[in-house]
Amino acid sequence: MPLPAPQTYSPDGFRPLTFHDAVPGFRDGSDTPRAYLERCLATIAEVEPQVMAFASLNEAGAREAADASAARYKAGAPLSPIDGLPIGVKDLLETRDLPTEMGSAFYKGNRPGRDSALVQALRQAGAVIVGKTVTTELGMSHPGPTRHPFDLRRTPGGSSSGSGAVISARMLPAAIGTQVLGSVIRPASFNANWALKPTQGGINRGERQGFSQSTVGIHAGSAQDMWQIAVEIVKRVGGDPGAPGLYFTREDPPAPVVPRRLAVLETEGWAVAEPKAIAAFEQALDVLRAQGIAILRRGDHPLLEALEQRVMGAMGLATDVCAYESAWSVANMMAKNPDALSESLKARFELGCSVTLAQYRMRLLQREEMRRAQAAMAGEVDGFIGLPACGPTPMPGDTGGSSNRILHTTGNPIMNTASSGLGCPVVTVPRMAVDGLPLGISITTQPHQDERAVAIARWIAEAVPPIMV
């Protein structure tokens, strides 16, 4: 059967699912969490066979949780602002009632029987775990089966493939993703999601502590839901061990804030970004200038130029660091069942084995120099603005960003590796389209200024009209 014709995306016309605006209906009895869930499940039944965003579903468990939430609303005692929220969890994170197969044949049938820290927090807040969303193999680059909801010929991005796609397919209002190089921000851009990649360690990763720059992020159909989910998780389980966790001055989403000055952070990805993506972004900058916002480019300020120079090579840095840090765990897999691993993962393993301790230390020093260069800009601008992807989502098999046998076929992460290495918060704002496909705008701030990043991003969403190129 031929695939349906691609849909044309419009930033103004697309309406993702949202949750916060359904809550008043739960409180006055005109709607219920169970009815909301059933609408989600109906869409899943219709769309999932083609999109393939879920690694597993737990409809019975979700209905039970939604009924319990409905009873709490009826009694006037919801557990939190996200009580009753249907949500997907990336299949890298453990869940007690669903498999955790991590997109890998090696872990087929793996059922740890326990919840990751953030999953515990979601349940405690009354959220409804609907299923596990597809990830690339071990959250790296070998793709899973998920297709892009707007164009089934294309990838939804990775590694948070399913988490991005469930939002653009209107199957769920929110999902959990993770990022080491660009796995939250890039698929969010591809799928017209709001997304938060928090400050390094801002949301507790639970058992996922193996990478020094891995973070948990939130995909959602609205900034309000995105922020509220992050807050409710951190209130209960904090950030990573040794990290202070996400800071917030109030629990409800921050109001939009007008920035005085924004710096364009091009990164090494600018050289390979698609011309139409750059043209759309430049239009957005023109809109901001017309509203009195000072926009700094790298030639305008020596400290910004120094930062741009420091983040050149962030892609290679991240590749080396992650390969080194994962080599020991992949070695165990290689010893047990090498046939279950992709050639791309084996190539990463070989790279990790070749990186010496001295080289790893050098890479960490380079990363610290990047962070110091960003910190030097703290008093100069309110934040940074940039492209979260080189362009709209590519076709499967596109090898942009690949290096030898380490393949990136879910989109080039080069636009994201700088902010991942910097460990700073990034928010994706869905305001642009290129060739009828989504493209976001990214807002980045200094570490621990996640709330500011969200506030600026919310203003950007109001100030920048839909841009279609």
Contacts of 244 (CB under 8 A, 6+ apart): 201, 238, 448
Give me Rg for the CA atoms of the chain.
Answer: 21
Comparing CA positions, the residue from 303, 285, 302, 301 lying closest to residue 293 is 285
Catalytic annotation, pick one of 141, 160, 183, 214: 183
Catalytic (active site) residue 132: no
In degrees, rounded to 5, the angle at the alpha carbon of residue 204 between the alpha carbons of residues 198 and 208 is 105
Comparing CA positions, the residue from 111, 133, 2, 122 lying closest to residue 56 is 133
Comparing CA positions, the residue from 290, 299, 291 lying closest to residue 264 is 299
CA distance 173 to 229: 11
The amino acid sitting at 239 is G
Residue with tokens 């360690």: 201
Catalytic (active site) residue 90: yes
Residue with tokens 């001295």: 358
Q: Can you spell out the DSSP letters for 163-210?
A: HHHHHHTTS-SEEEEEESSSTTHHHHHHTT-EEEE-STTSS--TT--S
Q: What is the CB neighbour count within 10 angstroms for residue 46?
A: 12
> 432 — phi, psi (to 5°)?
-130, 160
Q: What is the dihedral of CA 211, 216, 217, 218, to 10 degrees?
A: 160
Q: Which helix (H) or strand (E) holds 440?
A: strand 437-444
Q: At what angle do helices 314-336 and 357-375 cross, to 10 degrees?
A: 140
CA distance 120 to 79: 14
Catalytic (active site) residue 168: no
Catalytic annotation, pick one of 104, 116, 159, 189: 159
Q: 5 in helix, strand or coil?
A: coil
Q: Are 94 and 101 in contact (CB under 8 A)?
A: no
| Residue 8 DSSP class | P
Catalytic annotation, pick one of 90, 161, 163, 326: 90
Contacts of 157 (CB under 8 A, 6+ apart): 164, 186, 187, 188, 189, 190, 191, 389, 393, 410, 411
| Half-sphere exposure (Cβ direction) of 351: Cα atoms closer than 13 Å | 22
| Residues carrying an active site annotation | 90, 159, 183
